[in-house]
Structure 1
Amino acid sequence: MINSKFKWQLNQPANPDVVEQLAKDANIDPFVAKILAQRGVTSAQSAEEFMNPSVSSFHDPFLMHDMQKGIDRIQQAVEKGEHITVYGDYDADGITSTTIMYETLSDLGADVDYYIPNRFSEGYGPNVKAFQSIIQKGTSLIVTVDNGVAGNDAIDAANELHCDVVVTDHHSLPEKLPNAYAIIHPRVKDEDGDAYPFGDLCGAGVAFKIAQALMDEVPSDLIDIASIGTVADIVSLRDENRAIVKFGVQAIQNSQRPGLLALIKEAGINLSQFSEEDIGFGIAPRLNSLGRIKDATVGVELLSTFDEDRASELAKFANQQNDLRKSLVDQFFTEAVQSVEASGDINQRHTLVVVGDNWHQGVLGIVASRLVDKYQRPTIVMTAADGSDEVKGSGRSVDNFDLFKAIDPIRDQTIGFGGHHSAVGLTIQKDKVNVLKDQLEKAADQQHLDLSVKPVLDISAVLPVTKVTPELCDKIKSLAPFGQDNPKPIFKLQYDQLTNVKTMGKTHDHLKFSIVQGSDQLTAIAFGRGSIAHELQDGQGSLQIVGEIGENTWNNRTTLQLMIDDLKETPQPVIDERTRQLHQQMFADAGIYVFFHDKVLKQLQGYVNDQSEAVMYNTVTKKLTENRRLYIVDCPDVIDDLEHVLSNVSPETTILYLYKKQLISKIGMPDRNSYAKLFRFVKEHSNINIATQLKQISEHLHISARTIIFMVQVFLELDFITIQDRVIKLNPNYAARDLKTAPSYHLRTQQLAAEKKLLVSNTHELVNFVKDCLGV
């Protein structure tokens, strides 16, 4: 059985009237309008701003905190000939930020150089020793890029040496901001409590805004570099970032930068079809590899040099470092998997800690990410160096586990520790590894880590293969650039059969096949899924596939293809799709839709298409359901009703929605004391108007209004009270009767039992129950 890595979630379809109006007002294709509306873009103006950014998309840079103050100080340093050092970072965002700031200040005639700390010997951010060394060499102004907002100690040290520091950063704000001359940051609020209109700029984006302020215009010659940092840092591709990347991609296609062109050539990128994906998968990894493997300083030289020979030399070096990085990752990942499998931890623990010997520190985070992808659990990968009693490493997590919070309780037992929810870095003594392992398991228990919970994969729509055309691909591309907050749309593909199954790659790691519908055929590729090729057979139609539609150009011929994000075999015969919300696309597939409540049937009957039938549970027959998909839409009040339906059907597949708007189990069954309190109240107060006095009664008795209404119904059925014109009176002739004999009481008992069995149970319990009822 091929299982999915993700929980597939079909996006809530946009309101058809909104989509129609948007398509009309914005003069765009309805398909594009539907995707935009799903993403919250619902007006013609917002659609125009989203799809066609312009110069007006760039906000006034002086709206950013301390921008004017920082610009004044930089201009003063330029005019007086002070030596300025741009202090950067070793990742792609840091390299591009440094390049932007260095080139801007150079163009202004500044006496400027740049410094990028070493990942291994100095670590991230302002470093006291580095600052002292920079200042001793004559620097009187340090401008940080992509770092600095948490560099309190180093900035204090600079101040003591009479060197000003202008911080330009975008990272999370600490409780105490540093005592810098200026802090230019899109999320720092000014004295009036206002912040910059767009807080999701990356380091390169902030540097770009400073360049805009210094140049008094949008610096079009730097937007190519800004776009690389923006895509590489995986920040939101909305608002200003969208304009940066949209224009940046166009600028790269026409770039005259020798280093950038050489890097693109080494990466094997087709410049005429350049897109943001080429930044993310081609340029950014090569820039990042410089800092991961050795020293990122050459990255700035690569991007800024105009010496073609030097550019070619540095681009080749970056490519070599990237190849080395990939080789090291593959080697350490293989060794890590062997270690995990040999230890048996995968069967005993919810978390993983892997310690290797002399593994390169710069790639441990990538290895951890690959292990998380393989084992779907939080993982820390560490390395021990010869002659050292310390181990250093990086950790990555899953969505439902806070890795930083998990380790923080033993912070005092670490030598170094930092990070956030999903990623951490730490150094500990070798003899503390077991302490770390035990703490992670303890945290897994405290955070109720459920390894069966899969990350959610949002699916934009269901598409038949026949609809996948070059025209559709062009419509999808009109929504680019894609990235954080604007992901490339993922579609579930409908097809008739699967053919031409084969593996790809030197080690057969990847999977390739074709999906066919009628006379139409689409090539599908799944990276890293070659191992399941033997489970697939030509003609198989039970495999469900979701992926991104794109193009593949080979030998000047462009064809459409599907890049698979996930796949799964249709679980037979029961599928758990329990939901608290029903929408039209849930009724798109042909089948029999069974309802237990007439009101729900009437509300949703219009959603069911001509190939399907919507019926009440007491009309279902074996003949009606034979070899068809059976949908149990709402939750029955009585389990027996569902058992009766299932014992009289023979569906191909049973899909369980079991929709219920409000769970009665959240209210529960009133206890005897509650009944007694209400009865005494009725006995002591005549002529109670349940319509006007319900709130006061609820507050007086400390019983919820819904529970009071229920108990009143029970009393009425037992003849304890009378109700006329909503006025409650005690029946003077009432006789003692068992509460359980009231129909409402009996129904609620059955409803609670049904909810416990059908809604509170886990998937395994529910599926087995339904299978037993079906007799399969």
Structure 2
Amino acid sequence: MTSYLWKLLSDAPVENVEQLIDLLLGNRGISSNKEPFFSPRLPEPLLFGQEKISRFKDLVFSAVRDNLPIIIHGDYDVDGICGTALLWEAIYFGLNYKNVIPFIPDRFDDGYGLSTDSLEKITSKYKRGLLITNDCGIASISQVEKAKKLGFNVVITDHHQQAKQLPSADLVVWTDQLCGAGIAWLLSQSLEVMDGFWGLDLACLATIADVAMLVGMNRALVWHGLNALSATTRPGLQALFQLCELKAPLSVYDVGWIIAPRLNACGRMEGAYDALRLLCTRHTGQAQELARYLDLLNRERQELTKKMFEHAKGQVASPKERRIIVVGHETYHEGVIGLVAGKLVREFYRPSFVVACDNSGLAKGSARSISAFDVARALSQLSDILEGYGGHPMAAGFSLRKENIKVLSDRLEELGQKGLREQDLVPILNIDACVPFSLLDWGLLKALGKLEPFGQGNPEPNFLVRGLKVVDIKLIGSHNDHLKLKLSDSEEASFNIVDAVGFGLGSLYGQIHPGCLVDAVFNLQENVWQGNKALQLKISDLKLASADSL
């Protein structure tokens, strides 16, 4: 009835909550030392090594001593904006050094990262100084070389995929275990001028927004940082929380789906400086004005994304016959092509490349992928037709001449035909455990709370219960695309009834009706409505109990 392939991660029998929690930890690779997971410790700057930390401090303090400009070159997404804010504040306020300048490239004029255009803007105004990148720069070989020749000391801080050659910077601080702002937070801490918990709000915000793996150091930043973010004293974030009617304690969902899109909208629709100003302002009036403006930009972004996605879907002919989706159009807005690519992946479960063309003949693209296809590696094999590229296995950006789009599509399809099997193109629904209905109570929900925060690398547990009786089912939502159900484990519908909701499962209505027995995969959640609390199953997928589910 749906296209998911169900995969049960463990078939071990579960009789109580303690067994289930141990099973969940085992599914996440945690079997012996559980203390770092349940009480994670914040990382320290020395994880980069004493030599790198000493070099970073020497470069910063030397620039301060010589009264040289320090330029913090970030990126236009939430990660880059937060990292820029952290480094700028640590130097401007912590060191009380005012000759430090944040620089956020313009997506449309400068392109991504430490580009030739962004470097020209910097060097036209500053003839020498210290240039620190954050969330970019690891692939800027020629730009770093030029900056060095012009008299700049250069520090690269980045987490994006490294190439074989590293830039000839004075210092490269790189790890793929933290996002850009996580690196910036640790380097700021190394200056020893700010409180140990200062900046955790932004490090947490960026880690969630960048969809980083919430394991290890990232888990620690978010585990501690959600409290810091909930209690932030930044007027801009407070104004955004108030506008969005968010109350403490904040959740990963609040940050990733409500706050981050509004901050990202600024860099997607125009320049990202207003998002940086919102994070750094100390004035309530300015904060409220910026929050309203970012919210307006986000509404425009949502409408534009919706229209572009519908157009892009119309370009996808016979998706099942192709391994890779490539679409493009001269009307596409460069700022949201990544969002459209992500929607195409969710719609067709194919690696998707969306290209925006301009009148100059240069096209810029964004790619999103599935686990079986590394888009960054694929682009590296097509470097001969690309003007530039970079990213991660699951997401990447690139540019090329407009006349090469067809060649790009054909060669990507060749890579897809060679590297992707039919089974790779079926989305897998991982199920942690098959559990008895009797285990679904408030005690289990409380125990599951200790596994939070959930995210990449530590997903919210999916459970399977077989043979549930459908007591009631109806369509909900403005487009009738969601299901609301009442489910029971008993033939007697008056016993053990639980509410359930299936977002996006409206197409199953009519195939499932009261009296049916179903197998349900779900997350266990608390639902609050008009002050009343109740357990609820958030359905990931449903199949008739007679069907071969696994």
TM-score for both structures, normalised by structure 1 = 0.65
Identify if the C-alpha distance between structure 1 residues 278 and 515 changes in structure 2 by more than 3 Å, giving closer, same or farther. same
**Secondary structure at 1:237 match in 2:** coil
Cα 1:255–1:495, aligned 2, differ >3 Å: closer, same or farther? farther
Does residue 3 (structure 1) correspond to residue 15 (structure 2)? The answer is no
Aligned to 2:117: 129
Q: What residue is the counterpart of 1:492 in the other structure?
A: 464
Distance, in Å, in 1 between the alignment partners of 2:190 and 2:400 is: 44
CA distance, structure 1, for counterparts of residue 377 and residue 249 of structure 2: 44
State the alpha-carbon separation in 1 of the partners of residues 396 and 522 from structure 2.
Answer: 30
Q: For 1:3, what is the secondary structure of its paired residue?
A: coil
Greater shift in the superposed pair: 408-417 or 361-370: 408-417
Q: 1:35 aligns with which of 11, 24, 33?
A: 24
Quote the residue 1:564 is aligned against: 539
2:232 paired with 1:255: yes
Residue identity matched to 2:290:
L
* Pairing 1:287–2:263 present: yes
Q: What residue in structure 2 maps to residue 115 of structure 1? A: 103
Helix, strand or coil at the partner of 2:62: helix
Match of 1:76 among 26, 39, 62: 62
Aligned with 2:135 (options 146, 169, 172): 146
Which SS does the other structure have where 1:126 is aligned? coil
Partner of 1:207: 184
CA–CA distance in 2 between the matches of 1:149 and 1:405? 16
Correspondences of 1:502-517 after superposition (within 5 Å): 502-517=474-489
CA spacing shift, 1:204–1:217, aligned 2, 3 Å: same
Alpha-carbon distance, 1:500 to partner: 3.3
| Shift in alpha-carbon separation, 1:509–1:79, aligned structure 2, 3 A | farther
The 8 Å contact of residues 3 and 427 in structure 2, kept in 1 or not, is answered as no
SS of residue matched to 2:79? helix
- 1:435 correspondence with 2:407: yes
Counterpart Cα distance in 2 of 1:174 and 1:410: 14
CA contact (8 A) 1:67 1:184 kept: no
The change in CA–CA distance for 1:120 and 1:456 in structure 2 (over 3 A counts) is same
Q: Which residue of 1 aligns with 2:163?
A: 174
Cα deviation, residue 350, structure 1:
3.3
1:136 shift after superposition:
3.7
Distance 1:129 1:376, change over 3 A: closer
Distance 1:437 1:479, change over 3 A: same
Corresponding residue of 1:50: 37
Contact 1:62 1:213 in 2 (8 A): no
**Cα offset for 1:69?**
0.3
SS of residue in 2 equivalent to 1:215 = coil
365 and 223 in structure 1: CA distance in 2 versus 1, 3 angstrom threshold: same
Which residue does the alignment assign to 1:640? none
Post-superposition CA distance 1:485-524 (Å, at most 9, x none)? 2211111134531243223332223332222224223332
Q: Could you say what secondary structure the match of 1:425 adopts?
A: strand
User: Counterpart of 1:99?
Assistant: 85
Instruction: Give ranges in structure 1 of 5+ residues lacking alignment.
Output: 21-27, 187-198, 578-776
Q: What's 1:369 paired with?
A: 342
Distance (whole Å) between structure 2 residues aligned to residue 15 and residue 523 of structure 1: 25
**Hey, what's the Cα distance between the residues in 2 that align with 1:274 and 1:176?**
41
**Structure 2 SS opposite 1:524:** strand
In structure 2, do the counterparts of structure 1 residues 481 and 419 end up closer, same or farther at CA, with 3 Å as the change threshold? closer
- Equivalent residues of 1:249, 1:274 under 8 A apart: yes
Q: Does 1:540 align with 2:512?
A: no
Please give the residue correspondences for 1:229-378 in structure 2 after superposition, counting only pairs within 5 Å.
Answer: 229-269=206-246, 271-340=247-316, 344-346=317-319, 348-378=321-351
Alignment RMSD (CA, Å)? 2.7
Q: Answer yes or no: is 1:473 the counterpart of 2:471.
A: no
* Matching residue's letter, 1:563: K
Cα distance, 1:466 vs structure 2? 3.3
The answer (yes or no) to whether the contact 1:70–1:183 under 8 Å persists in 2 is no
Secondary structure of 2:464's aligned partner = strand
Cα distance in 2 for residues equivalent to 1:223 and 1:365 = 28
1:225 equivalent in alignment to 2:202: yes
Alignment partners' CA distance in 2, 1:40 and 1:439: 37
What amino acid sits opposite 1:351 in the alignment? I
Other structure's SS at 2:510 match: helix
User: Match of 1:381, as an amino acid?
Assistant: V
Deviation sequence 1:140-182 (CA, Å, 0-9, x none): 1111111122222221121112111111222222212111111
**Residue 401 to residue 246, structure 1, CA distance change in 2 (3 Å):** closer
Determine if the alignment matches structure 1 residue 156 to structure 2 residue 145.
yes
Residue-by-residue CA offset, 1:572-618 (whole Å, 9 max, x unaligned): 4xx496xxxxxxxxxxxxxxxxxxxxxxxxxxxxxxxxxxxxxxxxx
Per-residue deviation at 1:222? 0.8
Deviations 1:513-550 (A, max 9, x none): 222224223332222222332322122213x3212222
| C-alpha contact 2:498 2:536 (8 A) present in aligned 1 | yes
Distance in 1 separating the partners of 2:12 and 2:190? 40
User: 1:86–1:98: 8 Å Cα contact kept in structure 2?
Assistant: yes
CA distance in 2, matches of 1:318, 1:338: 30
2-structure distance, mates of 1:397, 1:54: 32
Equivalent pair of 1:208/1:219 in contact (CA under 8 Å): no
Provide the C-alpha distance between the structure 1 equivalents of 2:56 and 2:320, rounded to a whole number of angstroms.
56
Whole-Å separation in 2 of the counterparts to 1:184 and 1:389: 36
**Partner of 2:435: helix, strand, or coil?**
strand
Superposition deviation, residue 372 in structure 1: 1.8
For residue 151 of structure 2, give the secondary structure of its aligned residue in structure 1.
coil
Distance in 2 between residues matched to 1:8 and 1:540, nearest whole Å: 20
Query: 1:321 Cα deviation (Å)?
Result: 1.8
Percent identical residues? 33
2:530 match: 555
Give the distance between the partners of 2:443 and 2:139, measured in 1 at CA: 49
Q: Which amino acid aligns with 2:394?
A: S
Cα 1:444/1:533, change in 2 over 3 Å: same
Q: How far is 1:414 from its partner?
A: 3.9
C-alpha distance 127-391 of structure 1, shift in aligned 2 (>3 A): closer
Structure number, greater radius of gyration: 1
Output the CA distance in 1 between the equivalents of 2:496 and 2:63: 66
Residues 612-631 of structure 1: matches in 2 within 5 Å? none
Return the letter of the residue paired with 1:333. Answer: F
- Output one character per residue of 1:276-309: Cα deviation in whole Å (capped at 9) or x when no partner: 2221212222222221121112111111111111
Any residues of structure 2 matched to 1:615-694 within 5 Å, and which?
Answer: none
Q: 3-state DSSP class of the match of 2:307?
A: helix
Deviation at 1:238? 2.2
Instruction: Tell me the distance in 2 between the aligned counterparts of 1:228 and 1:526.
Output: 28
- Amino acid aligned to 2:516: Q
Tell me: CA distance 1:14–1:206, structure 2 relative to 1, closer, same or farther (3 Å).
Answer: farther
Shift of 1:54: 4.1
Aligned residue in 2 for 1:185: 174
Aligned counterparts of 1:101 and 1:309: Cα–Cα separation in 2: 24
**1:69-95 deviations in Å (ceiling 9; x for gaps):** 011111222233322111100111111
Normalised by the length of structure 2, the TM-score is 0.90
Tell me how far 1:58 sits from its aligned partner.
Answer: 4.0
Contact 1:550–1:561 (Cα < 8 Å) also in 2: yes
Which sits farther off after the overlay, 120-129 or 390-399?
Answer: 390-399
In the alignment of these two chains, the number of paired residues is: 543
One-letter amino acid matched to 1:299: A
8 Å CA contact 1:495, 1:515 repeated in 2: no
